[in-house]
Structure 1
Amino acid sequence: MTNKHLLVVGVSSSGPQHRFYIERIRRAGNEITLLTPQYHSWLKDIVNTFLYCDPFNEDACVEVARACHESNPFDGVLCFYEPYVKTAAKIAANLNLLGLSIEVARRCRNKYAMRNALWQHGVRIPKYALAEDYTKIPEIVQQFEYPVVLKPVEGAASIAVMRLNSDADLEVYMEKFVEIPRILNFKGEMPHSFLIEEYLDGEEACIDSFVQGDKIVPLMTCEKVLPMKGPLFLEEMYLSPPRYSKDKMEKLLECNTQAIKALGVNIGITHAEFRIVDGVPYVLEVAARPGGMPFPMMIELLTDVDLPNLMAQLVSGVSSIPTVNIKQHVALRDLFAPKTGKVLDLQGISECMDHPNIHSVTVYTKVGEQVYAPPHPKGFRPNIASVVAIGKTSLECLESLIEASTLIRPKIEFVENMKH
């Protein structure tokens, strides 16, 4: 697909995160217009036009996009960034372009609305309740037995998600975590509300799927290799295909299909998260966008599916159902700062990249920069590096990943009173 004019709604502030998508789509011969609140110099060589508007101001974005559309019509609207999914849907709807309905996008963005829809359709989910603001959290928690999990309703990337085992843990959460949505300026219909849910003791998995009408095609299923038992849920290691039995895999895929249909998603790429308890999957959430970087790269390594251009074709109305054939194993390890401070040294990057089974290393920091660890609001995302390995077997893939990624050794000096 070439010569299409595509509107991309928002990107994250980190260069590697979304450059991969835009670069791929641009390389295929398409024109890119980026709607963004600010100029991004790291995209100047691949973005044709910048439109400046706050993506959280949905109505203003519609008008800015409409003005551009009248002089240079868009063929489709794309969004790779969780906070802006609803804005993208509203623009597409107002310009009569393909996309999720505004209500479905809202349902996928708001975890409380999502849980309600899943529950109404009989999809297995944890027991849950809403605290409309942080002052209500202690009262709502008393309706559950410990352990429980708290998470912001409009959050993403496991930011401020914590398992509580006791009233003492609740005090820690109230002291150090409830202000994170305000500090990070979460926006949406319920930016300062929290979901309280029962903790399910099991393994975690995720699935990225292609959706077109009633066709749902799983592109990549990952097991999260390390135990996800809390208190924080930093997602550190993924493996695909997962080492599951045929029965477990079938149940997981069936649950994924049920959840996507229950939410009304009929176009796009979804990223669904699950807990598997005694072989039975429960849905934690379904996002109306792909998994974060480097998931698109992993999908291509796993299946040869070019996810960025598949998405572009889908919203332009020229896509076909992708054929998914697993050609090798792929694994990811995200490296987080062990403590908040200043990076004095970062060793082992070149040695890691030299490993024959390492496909790529994305480095997020450099010597002299500050890095963060939870409960600092910036400590919930990978901030040292992401390492992707390939292999002929799951064992080869994991062994290579662990061997190579442990070569990366950041030396961090603790710094008091680092600002948010």
Structure 2
Amino acid sequence: MVSLLIKILVNDYNNTGDDRVRRGYGVVCGTVGILLNIVLCCVKVFAGMLSGSIAIITDAVNNLTDAGSSIVNVVGFKMAGRKPDTEHPFGHGRIEYVSGLIISIIIIVLGVELGKTSIARIIDPRDIITSKTVFTVMLISIGVKIYMYLYNKKIGNRISSVSLQAAAVDSFTDAIATTAVLISVVIFEFTGVVVDGWCGLIVSVFIIYSGISSVKTTVDPLLGVKPDPEYVNIIEKFVLSQNNILGMHDLVIHNYGPGRSMISLHVEVPANGSLVEMHDIVDNIERKLKEALNCECVIHMDPMVIDNSISMRMRDYVGVIVTNVDPSLRINDFRMVQGTTHTNLIFDLVIPHDFQYSDEEVVDIIQQRVRQLPGDLYAVINVEKPYT
């Protein structure tokens, strides 16, 4: 049903890289979620009042809250689609992450509240009234929630939406919760044993765990995470394939929401090349990256000496020293400055975040080994951390 609605209501629905299309997907999914959850809430309230089961009524309230979560989703997609303005020059795309976080928190709160209700029912168990109507309502509810889980997960993955993925987790936990309620009703029907509270408590723990996992998924892009290696590889291959580009480093990818990225990087160009020509090459790279990846790009040029055999030999020596310390270390932006009394070898040293030695220890080791090379050589090292 959702796929059909998307085809009817969303123009150019296959172009999921377009912000307008993504927004259309999100609004359709959210609106369907609102309607289905309201219907489920109404029929469960009826079934809960008919049976006297607090678990069923709690499940109904859960669905009403889910409708609220879907409203948050729709509002999030609408706001995320707003154009950049004076106060938000990078757009409003991260609102989608915030809406996903809100849904995740709601999941946790519901789990805690369900746990409280379940403990109260364990302490004070009460008989419930079973009927075919109650069984039918619960079975239909489980089926609807599984359907909501499937379409939210499918579309969430298709458009890379953390808020829809969070909604999928929410729907799945709801299906599990309703299943547990149904099991407790079945057990009471055939044995007379009231396990309503225990089933609810087990489900509440599962819901809280799912909510915490969902929080991590939505918080990570807000904090900033390591970019997709495949995305990085595409950028590196393209940049290094251009004429007069000798190397590339310091790639930083800023994510301002799905489909909204800003890239900055350094390229090494021949120091003896024409500044105008090198600038033109860099401008072309920026423009082509923007066209291919739909991102803003800023490139800094690092001149690299390629016609001085001494400088190139010193770079090779330093490269060997650094690799011998640890293969995970690398150097960038190397230059040699010769003075009357000594020579400075200046370079950036990239040290992994979880390296076994401190930055100071690594710098000290490399500086000592450079001092052992012939000539009065000093290593001037600027420590950097990788962003990819």
> TM bucket by the smaller chain?
under 0.3
Larger relative helix fraction: 2
Larger relative strand fraction: 1
Higher relative contact order (CA 8 A, sep 6+): 1
Scaled by the length of structure 1, what TM-score is found?
A: 0.21
